[in-house]
Amino acid sequence: MSNAETIAQRFHEAYEELAPSHGYETREASRKPWSDVPEQNKSLMVAVVDRLLTTGVIAAEGGTRG
């Protein structure tokens, strides 16, 4: 699994976990574990994370840049 995919998966999991404490809950029909997220959606999330890694907005080590 690439760094981008690992980060995308962790983001998805954290988002689902934290959403209710911020007054938001995803619809039951669309709430899925990472393994069940449609490939098109996964691919987009991984591409976004890859772009952020490539442009230095985020760092794979867990820190942020600039």
H/E/C letters for each residue in 1-12?
CCHHHHHHHHHH
| DSSP-derived 3-state class of residue 58 | strand
Beta-bridge mates of residue 64: 58
| DSSP-derived 3-state class of residue 16 | helix
User: 23-45: per-residue pLDDT in tens?
Assistant: 998 888 778 899 999 999 999 99
At 66, the pLDDT band (50, 70, 90 cuts) reads very low
C-alpha 50/C-alpha 56 separation (Å) is 10
User: 48-63: per-residue pLDDT in tens?
Assistant: 999 999 999 999 875 5
Query: In the 8-state DSSP scheme, what is residue 22?
Result: G
What is the reported pTM? Answer: 0.82
